[in-house]
Structure 1
Amino acid sequence: MTIVRVKGIKRYTHPKTGISYTYHRASGRRISAEFGTPEFFEELAAIEKAHKVAAPTPGTLGLIIDEYRQVEWEALAPATQKTYERVFDILRPIHDMPLAKMDRSFILSMRDRKLRTKYGVWTANYCVTVLSIIFGFARDRGVIDSNPLAEQVRKIKRPRAAETANRPWTEDECRVVLERAPPHIRLPLAVAMCAGLRKGDFLSVKLDAIRDGHIVVRTSKRGVPIAVPIHQILADAIAQRPASASDILCVSSRGQPWTAMGWNASWGTFRRSLEAEGVIGRGLTGHGLRHTLGTRLREAGADDRTIADILGQRSTAMARHYSENAKLPDQAKALVTGLNMTGKRKAAPNSQVSTL
């Protein structure tokens, strides 16, 4: 068999899912086509051609973005890389602009007058967040004297009438969805609801993460190890997991690990059917369950530190010097296992899940 070595690319394999991602080395752009296929080489050639045409000018935003990709890119989670790439594409019209001419007033004016109008409030605010990171990178390397966004920037507020993104679910919505969802959809939602994991984490949790009555993971976004006690809702969903030989906890109806696209499609179809019946409101998301858990914990009397520890927020978790198998304090464990997520009166608990 002939082995063809492809120059100018770099590959990254996610440690949890085993999925490989390929990037054009010079530009940092992800190649979406399957590696080694004709479509892959066509896409690679197109990116290479575009990169040569758009070679960045020294001292410009485009150049510092290229340098940032070369130095910091591989340390970012794939989801973060994807959102950064979208920001870089949005800012492409000003890639040739010298950093020295991009002061605070220019950036905020661009956000308020152009980005907000074309892309919405969240994206406009996020572009400024990413620019602050890029400017900090440039300052540390002597490209500019100071970061014009170093001082905290007040974000654009969403209109009061606007639908809240990733809103918490109501108790009735949690109950209806859990009762109506088939097992392959119920389990990922139960993991998100009871452990507060983001989509990239609740779809990639492995079976061996379930041990000693806890779900033990290291969050992909911040790298924080957490060990959350298993709520009865999650224990019941695990007991009904579809038959599968996979070592991934959440699997499809065919017993295969979920892809992000597959999950979005299946969850979207199921959610829309419930919306059409009028039994749930609009706007339910998997990430909204993370907010749901935080809300229920707050209502149960948890303080900021406890909520942050349970959700794996680095800012306070680091203060407790987590180890890989760290357990939450007894008070926090009791809060998690005792939460009433659906408003139903609690039945006698089943035996505690320890391992699969």
Structure 2
Amino acid sequence: MKKERRRNKYKGWQIFRDRYGKWRAYHRKTGEKIDCDKFEPFTLAFDMEVHRINELHKEKQAKPGTLGMLIKRYRASDEFLDPEIGKAKRTQSDYQRVFDYLQPIEDIPLEWFTTARIVMLRDKAYKKLKWRWANYVVTVLFVLFKWGKLRDYVKNNPAAEIPPIPRPKSLLDANRPWTDAEREAVLAALPPHMFPPIALMMHYALDPQDALALPKTAISSAGIDTRRHKTGEPVYLPLFEPVADALARAPMHNAITLCANSRGKPWTYNGFSTNWHKIKKKLEDAGAVQPGLTLKGLRHTVATILREMGKDYGTIQNVLGHKTEAMARHYSKRADKTKQTAAAVADFGVELNKRKTKVVKPTS
């Protein structure tokens, strides 16, 4: 009887130890996870967190023809859940946050939603939770209504063609490319066990999480053979000296991942991020790097350098594991701007020289 009560308490949850012995807990339907370091499994605090999330996502009967109905049906679709064609777990969780945000209006009929009213929702979200969240709400609504239109739940997509709220001028560029001097300063400050992941990010443009999770079997004397987790796109790149040198300098370890922390265990993203921020802070204080340096900025760095070398967008797309050339253009946009402005400044200098008047020496 006691065992049955415990099973019912965690119904709808996946609770297990991963291959590294770390507890994991996921809400099966939404993919929402519990921080098992903060809430130890099977303790009272853990049970309270399970109850909180269960209540948050408790299903109620969605009214036909409403936003809630559309959300419920989309959330149960293959386009959302299927591991092959659906959204990644992280994206599912992010979408669920928007669905939770929209919960107060889920009983509103679909006919109520017009472009003007979604702009109103966007502006309200901006005032409450700022520009990034406001734009993300519109993005999710666009995907939701697009899915619904294809299935005759709605006649049109009212979230189409709504421009995003501009990025605030006061914010630094997100994930800007690193300068040559910044790359050299960071490499000089790294301890040996941080060399491999940084090298993979710096030279192969891997996402931080992809670099940290890369198994030893993904790399050989021929190079790297892996897939980008976010897009599922294959990445095949030859092994070359900077990466080979970083791997050779790394301390020996028995972890199944290529990269390991100072204890020889696989890195967690939070653990690596904590170590990285300590190093970055020291370098910022010393004036060796400028503010705004991020690990994801190394992807933009690789794309920028490749574009400056004259590589086409298709090549950059393959190196970075993007699904579209549009993303390759986005990641390398600084190189294109630099090329254009350099040419413009050079032309401007020539024009100024043409406009110079000859100095006439006075006669004696």
The residue correspondences of 1:229-244 to structure 2 (distance < 5 A) are: 229-244=238-253
Deviations 1:157-213 (A, max 9, x none): 224443111111111111100111112223212111111111221111111111243
2:10 paired with 1:11: no
- The DSSP-based 3-state class of the residue aligned with 2:128 is helix
Taking the TM superposition and a 5 Å limit, the aligned residue runs for 1:282-293 are 282-293=291-302
Greater CA deviation, 247-256 or 123-132? Answer: 123-132
Q: Structure 2: which 5+ runs fail to align?
A: 327-364
TM-score (normalizing by structure 1):
0.78
1:122 aligns with 2:125: no
| Closer, same or farther: CA 24–300 of 1 in aligned 2, 3 Å | same
- In 2: Cα distance, 1:14 partner to 1:292 partner: 37
| Aligned twin of 1:263 | 272
Is the 1:138–1:144 Cα contact (8 Å) retained in structure 2? yes
Please report how far the alpha carbon of residue 255 of structure 1 lies from its aligned counterpart in structure 2 after TM superposition: 1.2
Contact (CA 8 Å) 2:23, 2:41: kept in 1 or not? no
Kindly provide the amino acid, as one letter, of the partner of residue 95 in structure 2. Answer: Y
Distance 1:63 1:250, change over 3 A: farther
Indicate yes or no: 2:224 matched with 1:221: no
2:81 corresponds to which residue?
A: 73
Structure 1 stretches of 4+ moved >6 Å: 12-20
Give SS of 2:224's match: strand
Identity %: 37
Instruction: Map 1:255-334; keep pairs closer than 5 Å.
Output: 255-315=264-324
Q: CA deviation at 1:49?
A: 3.0
Query: Counterpart of 1:203 in 2: which secondary structure?
Result: helix
Picking from 86, 89, 95, the partner of 1:84 is: 95
Which residue of the partner structure matches residue 30 of structure 1?
33
Specify whether residues 143 and 256 from structure 1 end up closer, same or farther in structure 2 by C-alpha distance, changes over 3 A only.
same
Normalization by structure 2: what TM-score? 0.76
CA–CA distance in 1 between the matches of 2:295 and 2:7? 40
After superposition, the C-alpha distances for 1:59-83 in whole angstroms (9 at most, x for unaligned) are 3333433333333235332332332
Alignment partner, residue 341 of structure 2 = none
Partner-residue secondary structure (3-state), 1:228: strand
- On the 8 A contact 1:165/1:283 being kept in 2, the answer is yes
Bigger shift: residues 295-304 or 225-234: 225-234
- 1:44 matched to 2:50: yes
Distance 2:130 2:245 in 1: 40
Where relative contact order (Cα < 8 A, 6+ residues apart) is larger, the structure is 1
For residues 31 and 62 of structure 2, the distance between their equivalents in structure 1, rounded to whole angstroms, comes to 13
Give ranges in structure 1 of 5+ residues lacking alignment.
318-356
Based on CA coordinates, which of the two structures has the bigger radius of gyration? 2
8 Å contact from structure 1 (residues 209, 215) kept in 2:
yes
Q: How many residues align?
A: 315
